[in-house]
Structure 1
Amino acid sequence: MKAVLRKAKVLSLVYYAYMMEYRAELFLWALSGSLPLILMGVWYQAAQGGQFGLTPVDFTRYFLAVFVIRQFTVVWVIWEFEKEVIEGRLSPRLLQPIDPVWHHVAGHFSERFARLPFALALIALFFAVYPQAFWIPSLSNILLFALAAIFAFALRFIIQYTFALFAFWTERASAIESVWFLLYLFLSGLIAPLEMFPQGVREVLLWTPFPYLVHFPAALLIGLKDVNIIQGFLVMLGWGGFFFLWNRWLWRKGLKQYSGMGA
């Protein structure tokens, strides 16, 4: 166990130092995740003159929570893995005594801390513009949000990493992620809270992985009502298990394909 923790610490520190070399890019990455804050302004104005079930303040807090969860769950492993396979850089990593995926996990984990100052600055700017939306979540909401954020990142990562394994068979595995992202964009709660969806559509969506990547943790943070916490975590575990098993099967098949190409 100590050896595992030592390797995890070393990998995290190495990738954190690597990320800090690109602070300007990190700022742009954090800024690129500010779409929820832009959408918040749209829904804030709409809520002032419409009957949506959520108040303008609810919308501002919701989209701030969406911005926060997006900072914790952004994933790019498919583009890195695709490049490693195409350029042959995966081969030396296969000779190392750890699964190559842990390099990507360490990179993503370290990047969270590297972008944190920029995200906090944007949150402070948000409250300066919308002081009426300031609130302090309860301790239970914070703990549930933290747990949901970890689950959401793990689920988002395993889904994208599973799609990345198709790079063993195609040079454009990232195209799969592009199609998936369109569904994620409209069905996760990133564009609009699930409360804005028709009841029937919402009930179906709650059995898919999309709402639990954004809406579920955001709703927990701001304390929205009618959130089925137990169902949420169980659905996340179910989809996580499904993609994990699919991932391991593709990995075994993909390595045979990769070695067959002479790597």
Structure 2
Amino acid sequence: MNDLWHKTRTLLAVQYAYMLEYRAELLLWALSGSLPIILLGLWTQAAQGGRFGLGPLDFARYFIAVFVVRQLTVVWVVWEFEREVVEGRLSSYLLQPIDPVWRHVAGHVSERLARLPFIVLLVGLFFLLYPSAFWIPDWRNALAFAALAVLVFALRFLIQYTFALLAFWTERASAIEELWFLCYAYLSGLIAPLTIFPPVVREIALWTPFPYLVYFPASVIAGLPVNWPRGLLVMFLWGILFFGLNRWLWRRGLKQYSGMGA
């Protein structure tokens, strides 16, 4: 346990120091995820007539929650792993006594810690511009949201890392992620809450992993009703599916990588 703790602390410390070298870039990354803020303005205006079952304040709080969820769960491992395979840098990582995935996990967690002040700053700026939307979430919702944010990050990282393993066979594994993002943008609740979707589309979407990566945690912190048993069950099932696929691709991919002369 002491050895595990030492490795974890060292990885996090190194990655955190690395992230602090690019504080200005971190701010730009945070701003690049501001699409929910733009959509907030559009939907709050569209909700003035009360046609969607949600009022302007509901939309405002939902989309600021979406912004926070996106900031806390953003993942980019597919591009990093793809570059490591294509450039051959993965070979040196395989010689080290630790699975290369933990280097990426540490990098993502450290980046999140370094990004946190910018998230707080941008959320504070939002409430200055929309003071009527300010609210203090129920403490139970806040705790549930914190736990969900960890689960959502883990699931999204697992999904994207599974796509990244396709880099053993193709130089453009990131293209799969880009195709996946099209479905993610529409069905996750990023562009609109699922409550306003047609019933058939909503019912189909709720059996995919997409709503549980954005809509589910955002609704929890915004105080909108959610189906907890179904949400946790679907997340668990998709997590098991992608974990099994991930391990299978990793074992097959290492043989393919060795065959390429690594």
TM-score by length of 2: 0.99
| Counterpart in the other structure of 1:146 | 146
Is 1:52 the equivalent of 2:52?
Answer: yes
Q: Identity, % of aligned pairs?
A: 69
AA aligned opposite 1:218: A
Per-residue CA deviation, residues 20-47 of structure 1 (Å, 9 max, x unaligned), is 1011110000000111011000000000
Count of residue pairs brought into register by the alignment: 262
* Counterpart secondary structure, 1:235: helix
| Counterpart in the other structure of 1:36 | 36
| Counterpart in the other structure of 1:193 | 193
C-alpha distance in structure 2 between counterparts of 1:233 and 1:142, whole Å: 17
The CA RMSD measured in Å over matched residues stands at 0.7
| Counterpart in the other structure of 1:18 | 18
C-alpha distance in structure 1 between counterparts of 2:233 and 2:110, whole Å: 28
Per-residue CA deviation, residues 48-84 of structure 1 (Å, 9 max, x unaligned), is 1341100100000000000000011100000000000
Is 1:88 the equivalent of 2:115?
Answer: no
CA shift for structure 1 position 199: 1.2
Is 1:248 the equivalent of 2:236?
Answer: no
C-alpha distance in structure 2 between counterparts of 1:180 and 1:96, whole Å: 32
Is the contact made by 1:148 and 1:233 (CA closer than 8 Å) also made in structure 2?
no
Is 1:115 the equivalent of 2:154?
Answer: no
AA aligned opposite 2:168: F
C-alpha distance in structure 2 between counterparts of 1:7 and 1:29, whole Å: 28
* Counterpart secondary structure, 2:28: helix
Is 1:102 the equivalent of 2:102?
Answer: yes
C-alpha distance in structure 2 between counterparts of 1:229 and 1:241, whole Å: 18
TM-score by length of 1: 0.98
CA shift for structure 1 position 105: 0.1
AA aligned opposite 1:245: G
| Counterpart in the other structure of 1:71 | 71
C-alpha distance in structure 2 between counterparts of 1:26 and 1:238, whole Å: 33
AA aligned opposite 2:146: A
Per-residue CA deviation, residues 214-241 of structure 1 (Å, 9 max, x unaligned), is 000000101102x111211111111011
- Structure 1 residue ranges without an equivalent (≥5): none
Ranges of 4+ aligned residues in structure 1 off by more than 4 Å = none
| Counterpart in the other structure of 1:214 | 214
- Structure 2 residue ranges without an equivalent (≥5): none
| Counterpart in the other structure of 1:262 | 261
C-alpha distance in structure 2 between counterparts of 1:230 and 1:150, whole Å: 17
C-alpha distance in structure 2 between counterparts of 1:193 and 1:53, whole Å: 11
